[in-house]
Amino acid sequence: MAITIPGIDDLLAAHDRIRPFVHRTPLVTCETLDRMTGAELVFKCENLQKVGAFKYRGATSAVQSLDDATAARGVATHSSGNHAQALSLAARTRGIPAYVVMPTSAPAVKRDAVAGYGAEIIPCEPTLQAREETLARVVADTGAHFVHPYDDPRVIAGQGTAALELFEDAGPLDAVITPVGGGGLLSGTAIAAVHRAPGCRVYAAEPEGADDAARSLAGGVLVPSVDPDTICDGLLTSLSERTFAIIRAHVTGIVTVSDDAVVQALRLVYERMKLVVEPSAVVGLAALLTRREAVAGRRIGVVFSGGNVDLSRPWF
């Protein structure tokens, strides 16, 4: 079956579509981190995006692309993470219903966040099968339009708009690095780079305990994520055939980092940059901090993907 891959025109169209609804997030620099890595780092702060994550770009891109009749029936997804919050707010902003299938095991703080954006939560058993069956039933009952967290060209195009802004605002970069979970942010970034920053290499980072993307890229075969074990709760999912195809074509390398390195990077960002970020957001910085010899002298864009974190977690 043919796979639809978004092009640069799709990213530019998505950017026009979402511009009235999303923050153009700031770039931030930090002398301490430049000194520690020997590189010149430019951070794109998607933790300061609405709902606290880049996911709001992709969700808004999808929701705003629907025709009125489709939109009126609402949108649906199965997620307990940032995509659920993002889709809920994107739907509310368009004035349409959102249905979120969420396992009964999801923490109350996540349920509350989604409910706070006005979505209807449909509980299900905490298995993949129950989740998919429940979603299918919701879609059949309501006529809602399913928006996948990453395996969707409109979502990928939306996520790529963060890199469009980075390249416009930062000037020339030798490389850009993002986290990789399902690959929506990474593949959108790669498409943006190929067309808007041709000399800029694209890298990703992921936790050692969820290294399916690194193994997939290294082996040339899509390896699913099985029993991931990491504090980076936004990076547990597997690539799709679509995101893997884009990543194989355009991504130079995927590096893995330990959870200890993630905690150290988190602490530096809180203490030195005064920014709240979630563990998943700093895998790229953790990768740079542990590979000083490879990055010294380079000018590197680093995407902080989100800042939705349980403040009572004892990381420090």
- Which residue among 66, 255, 277, 303 contacts a second copy (CB under 8 A)? 277
**CB neighbours of 105 closer than 8 A, spacing ≥ 6?**
126
| Interhelix angle 153-170/184-196, nearest 10 degrees | 50
Least distance from a second copy to the Cβ atom of residue 70, Å? 27
Report residue 46 as tokens. Answer: 């998607």
The 8-class DSSP code of residue 119 comes to P
140 lies in the site for a second copy, by CB under 8 A: no
Nearer to a second copy, 179 or 228 (CB): 179
Q: How many amino acids of this chain bind a second copy (CB under 8 A)?
A: 19
Cα–Cα nearest to 247, from 191, 302, 303, 285: 191
Q: CA-CA distance, 310 to 56, in Å (whole number)?
A: 19
The 8-class DSSP code of residue 238 comes to P
Least distance from a second copy to the Cβ atom of residue 137, Å? 33
274 lies in the site for a second copy, by CB under 8 A: yes
118 lies in the site for a second copy, by CB under 8 A: no
173 lies in the site for a second copy, by CB under 8 A: no
Between residue 34 and residue 63, which ones bind a second copy under the rule CB under 8 A?
A: 47-48, 50, 52
Report residue 195 as tokens. Answer: 């067309």
224 lies in the site for a second copy, by CB under 8 A: no
Least distance from a second copy to the Cβ atom of residue 37, Å? 18
- Which residue among 19, 24, 137, 267 contacts a second copy (CB under 8 A)? 267
Q: Which residues of 128-163 are buried (b: 16+ CB within 10 A; e: fewer)?
A: eebbeebbeebbeebebbebbbbbbbbbbbbbbbbb
Between residue 7 and residue 36, which ones bind a second copy under the rule CB under 8 A?
A: 26, 28, 31
Applying CB under 8 A, the residues found at the interface with a second copy are 26, 28, 31, 47-48, 50, 52, 267, 270-271, 273-277, 307, 311-312, 316
